[in-house]
A and B are shown apart, each in its own frame.
Chain A
Amino acid sequence: MVEKIGVYICHCGTNIARTVDCKAVAGYALGLPNVVVARDYLYTCSDPGQEMIKNDIRESGLTRVVVASCSPLMHETTFRRAVADAGLNPFLFQMANIREQCSWISENRELATTRAKAIVGAAVMRVEFNEPLEVQKVPMNPNVLIVGGGIAGIEAALQIADSGKRVYLVEKEPTIGGYMARFDKTFPTLDCAACILTPKMVSVGQHPNIELLSYSDVTDFSGYVGNFTARIRRRPRYVDEEKCTGCGQCEQKCPLSVLSEFDCGLGKRKAIYRPFPQAVPSTPVIDREHCLFFTKGVCRVCEKFCPRGAINFEQKERFIDVQVGSAIIATGFDLFDASRVKEYGYGKFPNVITSLEFERLTHASGPTVGKIVLKNGRTPESVAVVHCVGSRDNNYNEYCSRVCCMYSLKIAHLVREKTDAKVYEFYIDMRAAGKGYEEFYKRLLREDVTFSRGRVAEITDVAQNSSENGKLIVVAEDTLLSIVKRIPVDMVILSVGLEARRDALQVAHIFRISRSKDGFFLEKHPKLAPVSTAGDGIFIAGSCQGPKDIPDSVAQGAAAAANVLSLIDRKEVELEPTIALIDEDSCSGCKICIGLCPYNAISFDEPSGHAVITGALCKGCGVCVAACPSGAIEQQNFTNRQLTAEVEAICA
């Protein structure tokens, strides 16, 4: 049967029309075989635009439709729906990208128009061979996997669990809470971080719908949206979670103290410990690397004193598999390593500390019980806060870490509140964009903090005059005064930037999500889909997507939850039917395809002597199709005929 193809060339306002002669392309299209309708239109994705297409389908009996406009990643779904509305199978529609990969990349009208013609021609020749296909509908498993128990993960978990769905919350550390649990106060309200966080942590710990898998991580994640399997490794705490009441006796009696990671190495913890008093779960964990029993075979004091007999040195690592329909990745960030900036002397000068170390100092349950002191125990008389360490810097990270200006102001405030020290803030720009942020900055201006605009060049201890003896001297240009300043201070606090986590690459590989240039996870669309990823059913939230403050992390956690709940509510998800099919008659049983499938979807059927594909496992990569020497495998909607038609059309 002769097809009737309708071709629509979109102007997209001036986005396409500015560089591509749409009328000429439409005219060209009309001259192509089997094209019965060819129009150019201003905004094809608009309602009237879609109506126009539907009318043509009905009135001209179109059997195939091509829209040449933006990227299929933008509007393929829109047009497929429109076409289906008019009674035509949505896979008899083909999209030609003459915007992102044509009009937007060229200033040469002639070349761009010729190229657009080639692209449209390819789509027209291909669509001839499109077959009607039915989307696969698969049931949506309502369980949700959330990776990361920081504030974003906690928010998402609570929202989803509250709606009655089951959540598996996996957290690497022995406790949830993330970085926020280590902060003292939060800007701009100066809320105590623990006060606002711990109630949420407790809710998570007690929620009947949340299975909290702490001290665990995801080692494998397979399947497709609606039907994922996650393999989770549960590391041994050597304490039985069921029996432990969190009484803390073991911690008290343990004879061994080591440096505490939670306190940035500034304080100590025991070998059996909870990272902080309000940890959830409140079950302690034994640090195998230091515990005297594991290293030397002695002690076992905790076991002796535990009233419930919860200590179990025999615990082993175990793996569990959970079935979920969707996942939210909220793994958070890591701080920039300040020792990389040699000029600032971090690691060399004991009183050059990072912002997080300062948080631990000023924290009421920190190593100095909230006192801001130098390493020798004295109170500083002068403090410098250095902005943009590792951020906005071509040598390290180009981007702005967004939260440092605000937390630097908070630090200045806390120093002024708790000591009489003079505070000097060395900034480049003051970024105070959130609600109440600018007002907070104004407040600090009145708190007798000296602001000096100019990136700090160096922190040195080589005194040039007597007033500098025994001090740390901050050398910076003040660009507003056009002078180079040398400010002697007792303590320097480096406002380090946020980076993607050191293990972000591994996580990205496990969930098969992409990362942007700076290492953070890549969202589907920076404006319109900030919490989705290219993979259906996998979402990201919080600072793993990019540096952000607590309000934004919470907002993203909730947004991801909304996305997930919307998926779950649909009860069924549609899968692209781009799976591979084997024509048994053509299959010679050579078995080349079997080893190639990344999902082991192809098996060999001995009795019949050919390969068989399990449709549910096939993800549609097409590797087997390209490999089959007999051409016995075809990929739906990406058949050899369709692709070669495109090739021939382009080369003509």
Chain B
Amino acid sequence: MVIGLSTRFEPKIVGFLCRWCAYTGADLAGTSRIKYPPNVTPIRVNCSGRVDPTFVLKALASGADGVLIAGCHPGDCHYTSGNVKTIRRFKLLQRMLNQFGVEKERVRLEWVSASEGERYARIVESMTKEIRSLGPLEWKTKVEA
């Protein structure tokens, strides 16, 4: 959480970005100096298919308010079909999170190509705004209890 002058709740969002598309796209947003809320801290993986659903749960249980998984558009995956596996896992993950009472806006799967810097910025912006209005997740008290 942010300590300091601003008392506004700043969501902490963990991002898993695939190095071929999403991470490059996110870099492009920076190179283009597009300004967007810095609430997503990126973790680089080779493919969105590397993202184990338990990472997502770990993040939420460790204090994250949201998780963003970003990969190549379906059909464009550098490893041909890695992102297809991500879709499948994500659907099941969503069901599980729903059962835990975790709002679906908190965990998102998005496709960002290497040239979509602007798109990445808008996704982070909208996700931050949505989670901000939902408030902190507080897994320990809200979910585990």
Do A and B contact each other directly (Cβ–Cβ < 8 Å)? yes
A: residues with CB less than 8 A from B are 71-73, 97, 99-102, 104-108, 110-112, 114-115, 118-119, 122, 508-509, 512, 514-517, 522, 534-535, 578, 596, 598-599, 619-623, 625-627, 635, 638, 640, 643-644, 646-648, 650-652
Question: A101 and B27 in contact (CB under 8 A), knowing A598-B81, A598-B82?
Answer: yes
Bound-complex Cα distance A107 to B37 (A): 9
A644 touches B79 (CB 8 A): no
CA distance A100 to B47 in the complex (A): 20
From 73 to 117 in chain B, residues with beta carbon under 8 angstroms from any chain A beta carbon are 75-82, 85, 89, 113-116
Known contacts A111-B38, A509-B76, A638-B46: A514-B114 contact under CB 8 Å: yes
Question: B49 contacts A626, CB within 8 Å?
Answer: yes
A-B contact pairs, 10 of them (CB 8 A): A104-B31, A105-B35, A118-B12, A534-B24, A598-B80, A598-B81, A619-B79, A621-B82, A622-B82, A623-B82
Q: Is B43 an interface residue, CB under 8 A from the partner?
A: yes
Instruction: Given A119-B41, A508-B76, decide whether A650 and B14 contact each other with a Cβ distance below 8 A.
Output: yes
- List the 3 closest pairs (A to B, CB-CB), nearest first: A622-B50, A100-B30, A623-B49
| Chain B residues, CB < 8 A from A638 | 45-46, 50
The docked-state distance in angstroms from the alpha carbon of A282 to that of B47 is: 47
Q: Name the B residues within 8 Å of A119 (CB-CB).
A: 41-42
Q: Tell me whether A101 and B78 are in contact (CB under 8 A).
A: no
Measured between beta carbons, the chain B residues less than 8 angstroms from A651 are: 12, 14, 59, 62-64
- Asked if A517 and B116 sit within 8 Å, CB to CB, the answer is yes
For chain B residues 1-52, which have a beta carbon within 8 Å of chain A?
Answer: 2-6, 10, 12, 14, 19-21, 23-24, 26-27, 29-31, 33-39, 41-47, 49-52
> Would you call A627 and B27 a contact (CB within 8 A)?
no
**Which residues does chain B contribute within 8 Å of A122, judged by CB atoms?**
41, 43
Contact of A105 with B36 at beta-carbon distance under 8 Å, contacts A97-B42, A651-B64 already known: yes
Q: Is the CB of A622 within 8 A of B46?
A: yes
B residues sitting closer than 8 Å to A (CB atoms) are 2-6, 10, 12, 14, 19-21, 23-24, 26-27, 29-31, 33-39, 41-47, 49-53, 55, 58-59, 62-64, 72, 75-82, 85, 89, 113-116, 121
Taken together as a complex, chains A and B put the C-alpha atoms of A646 and B43 apart, in Å, by 7
A387 to chain B, nearest CB (A): 27
Find out whether the CB atom of B79 lies under 8 angstroms from the CB atom of A516. no
Residues A627 and B14 in contact, CB atoms below 8 Å apart: no
The distance in angstroms between the C-alpha atoms of A320 and B39, with both chains bound, is: 51
Residues in B neighbouring A101, C-beta threshold 8 A: 26-27, 29-30, 42
Given known pairs A110-B4, A509-B76, A643-B55, the reply for A105 and B34 (CB within 8 Å) is yes
Q: How far is the CA of A321 from the CA of B14 in the complex (A)?
A: 44
Chain B residues within an 8 Å CB radius of A114: 2-4
Q: Is the CB of B38 within 8 A of A623?
A: no
A648 touches B58 (CB 8 A): yes
- For B59, the chain A residues whose CB sits under 8 A away are 647, 650-651
CB of B41 to closest CB in A, whole Å:
5
Closest chain-A Cβ to B130's Cβ sits at a distance in Å of: 18
**Chain B nearest CB: distance from A76 CB in Å?**
10
* Interface of B, helix, strand, loop or mixed by DSSP: loop
- List 17 additional A-B contacts (Cβ < 8 Å) besides A112-B38, A638-B46: A101-B26, A101-B30, A105-B30, A105-B38, A106-B35, A111-B10, A512-B77, A514-B113, A522-B114, A534-B114, A621-B49, A644-B55, A647-B43, A647-B55, A648-B58, A648-B62, A651-B64
CB distance from A80 to the nearest CB of B (A): 15
Closest B residue to A118 using CB positions: B41
Q: A73 to B58, Cβ gap below 8 A?
A: no
Which chain A residues border B10 with CB–CB below 8 Å? 111
CB-based nearest B residue for A107: B35
Q: In whole Å, how far is B77's beta carbon from the nearest beta carbon of chain A?
A: 8
List, in ascending order, chain B residues with CB within 8 A of A578's CB: 46
A115 close to B38 (CB less than 8 A)? yes
Which residue of chain A has its CB nearest to the CB of B29? A105
Partner of B27, one of A100, A516, A598: A100
A625 touches B31 (CB 8 A): no
- CB of B38 within 8 A of CB of A621, answer no
A623 with B75: CB separation less than 8 A = no
Contact yes or no, A99 B46, CB < 8 A = no
Bound CA span A599–B81, Å: 10
**For residue A647, which residue of chain B has the nearest CB?**
B59
A647 x B62 contact (CB < 8 A): yes
Q: Determine the chain B residues whose CB is within 8 A of the CB of A522 once the complex forms.
A: 114-115
List, in ascending order, chain B residues with CB within 8 A of A644's CB: 55, 58
On whether A622 and B20 interact (CB within 8 A), knowing A508-B76, A514-B76, A650-B41, the answer reads: no
**A321 and B115 alpha carbons, distance in the complex (Å):** 32
Q: How far is the CA of A508 from the CA of B43 in the complex (A)?
A: 26
Contacts of B37 in A (CB 8 A): 106, 111
CB-based contact A647/B14 at 8 Å: yes
Partner of A622, one of B12, B36, B45, B115: B45
Q: Which residue of chain A has the shortest Cβ distance to B32 in the bound complex?
A: A104
A104 touches B26 (CB 8 A): no
When chains A and B are docked, how far (Å) is the Cα of A71 from the Cα of B26? 10
**Contact status B63-A534, CB under 8 Å:** no
Structural contact, B64 and A621, CB atoms closer than 8 A: no
Complexed CA–CA distance, A578 and B115 (Å): 25
A535 near B78 with CB under 8 A, answer yes
> B109 to chain A: closest CB distance in Å?
14
- The residue on B at minimum CB distance from A505 is B75
Structural contact, B50 and A652, CB atoms closer than 8 A? no
Interface pair A626/B50, CB less than 8 Å apart: yes
Pick the most buried of B14, B43, B44, B114: most chain A CB atoms within 10 A of its CB.
B43
A73 to B34, CA, bound (A): 19
B36 to chain A, nearest CB (A): 5
* A626–B52 CB distance below 8 A: yes
- Please state if B76 and A647 are interface contacts (CB–CB under 8 Å): no
Contacts of A620 in B (CB 8 A): 46
Q: Is the CB of A621 within 8 A of B47?
A: yes
* Contact residues in A for B80 (Cβ distance below 8 Å): 512, 598
Minimum CB–CB distance from B141 to chain A (whole Å) comes to 15
- Taking CB atoms, residues of chain B closer than 8 Å to A647 are 14, 43, 55, 58-59, 62, 64
CB distance from A471 to the nearest CB of B (A): 44
Least CB distance from A170 to B in Å reads 21
A512 touches B51 (CB 8 A): no
Complex contact A534–B20 (CB within 8 A): yes
Choose among A105, A106, A115, A517 the residue that contacts B41 (Cβ–Cβ < 8 A): A115
Q: Give the docked Cα–Cα distance between A122 and B58 (Å).
A: 14
CA A522 to CA B25, docked complex, whole Å: 12
* Chain B contacts for A652, CB-based, 8 A: 62-63
Known: A626-B51, A651-B14. A515 touches B23 (CB 8 A): no
- A-side contacts of B26, CB under 8 Å: 100-101
Instruction: Tell me the bound Cα distance from A210 to B76 in angstroms.
Output: 31
Contact (Cβ within 8 A) B27 A71: yes
Residues of B within 8 Å of A514, CB to CB, are 20-21, 72, 76, 113-115
B residues within 8 A CB of A515? 113, 115
User: What A residues does B51 contact at CB under 8 A?
Assistant: 626
- CB-CB under 8 A from B23, the residues of chain A are 71, 73
- A99's closest neighbor in chain B, by CB? B30
